[in-house]
Amino acid sequence: MTSRLLTVGRALAFVAIALLGCAIVFQLAGYPSAGMFGAIVAGAFIAPHAIVHTLRWAMPLFITAVGVLVAFRCGYFNIGAQGQFYFGAIAAAFVADAFGGGPPVFVIPLAIAAGVAGGALWALWPGFLRVRFGTDEVITTLMGNFIAALALLYVASGPLKDASGSGEVAAARPVAAALRIATSSGVSFTLVAIVVVIGVLMWLVVDRTAFGVLGSLAGRNPVMVVWQGARSSRIGLAAFLFSGGLAGLAGALELLGPSGRLLGGFAPTLGFSAILIALVAGLSVPATAVVSIFFGGLAAASLYLPVIAGYPAAAIDIINAAITLLITARAWPSFTRRSRAAA
């Protein structure tokens, strides 16, 4: 436990270094760096509704990051969370659209289940190719992201197109108000409750089940668990299904919550931020919750930087990129990629 805290502490220190580096660069470029820190803190935690904005982003990031974490622990580099998130939202949108007038008590769980299934299916085929033929999952899941983004565009401007829309943005028909589990503020009791329950469940799965421990053994040495009699392909498929299912869940919650409708290219970096969060958190579920709130805060603050400090909106992207660079340099060696030869 202490070593894990150390990992997270070290990662957060790297984040601090990244912020400091950005501040220096911004200062040299003529923007007051003190204003940057002020705006970030204000935008994330102090300004009216800042906490709500922070949580609004922290929750989908957390769910998706936990999914990424499960796959990474088992030694599979599923970087397709973004696409799985989209397919979760698409599947949920179809259900919500088809049963828009039905009783919400049934339709909402059904839509959420559809979202989980959609995300899981979008992770299943790379998982199958990986365990059956050894196809590199980095390539397949990455490519899956592009297909999913195009599928989202198609659905939002095709089957579920909002006829009343202007047509400038691919926008689908809005989800019936009765099916929404949060307003556009993005935070509600139902949503928080679902996220907390899922977080606890996944913490149990990762730390307190045979699957969790065997998965982490397999992630570091797949040959060893085979010699113990484990069916490594089943562990692998389960890892992909958990991973995609959680991203799909995040997509469904996003749709039924703050978004309220499918929009072409919405939340375009969520799946990638989730990868970053899982790595910063040292692949631990509790730490992922903390780190998600931090990154949720950064996302919320990105609205404030231009307004308060006069920064260009791209400043947050630069900060994110700087953090990514420093974290990836540090976080990879702890979980090495399983080699092809071992498969």
Question: Applying CB under 8 A, which residues contact another protein?
Answer: 3, 204-205, 207-211, 213-214, 216-218, 220-221, 223-231, 234-235, 238, 335-336
**Nearer of residues 183 and 209 to another protein, judged by Cβ:** 209
Other Cβ atoms within 10 Å of 163 Cβ, number: 6
Cβ–Cβ < 8 Å for 152, 90: yes
Using a 10 angstrom Cβ sphere, with 0-12 exposed, 13-18 middle and 19 or more buried, the burial of residue 239 is buried
Cβ at position 216, least distance to another protein in Å: 6
**Nearer of residues 5 and 52 to another protein, judged by Cβ:** 5
Cβ at position 6, least distance to another protein in Å: 13
> What is the distance between the alpha carbons of residues 301 and 165, in angstroms, rounded to a whole number?
30
**Nearer of residues 101 and 229 to another protein, judged by Cβ:** 229
Cβ at position 329, least distance to another protein in Å: 19
Q: Which has the closest alpha carbon to 22: 9, 42, 40, 46?
A: 40
**Nearer of residues 5 and 223 to another protein, judged by Cβ:** 223
**Nearer of residues 246 and 262 to another protein, judged by Cβ:** 246
**Nearer of residues 225 and 270 to another protein, judged by Cβ:** 225
Nearest-5° Cα angle at 13, 8 to 14 = 100
> What is the distance between the alpha carbons of residues 336 and 187, in angstroms, rounded to a whole number?
37
> What is the distance between the alpha carbons of residues 99 and 139, in angstroms, rounded to a whole number?
36
Cβ at position 77, least distance to another protein in Å: 16
Cβ at position 5, least distance to another protein in Å: 13
β-partners of residue 161 are: 172
Q: Which has the closest alpha carbon to 152: 127, 122, 182, 187?
A: 122
For 156, 171, 243, the CA distances from 149, given in Å and listed in that order, are: 11, 13, 18
**Nearer of residues 243 and 302 to another protein, judged by Cβ:** 243
Other Cβ atoms within 10 Å of 13 Cβ, number: 12
For residue 174, give the 3-state DSSP assignment.
coil
Cβ at position 207, least distance to another protein in Å: 7
Cβ at position 111, least distance to another protein in Å: 25
> What is the distance between the alpha carbons of residues 64 and 216, in angstroms, rounded to a whole number?
19
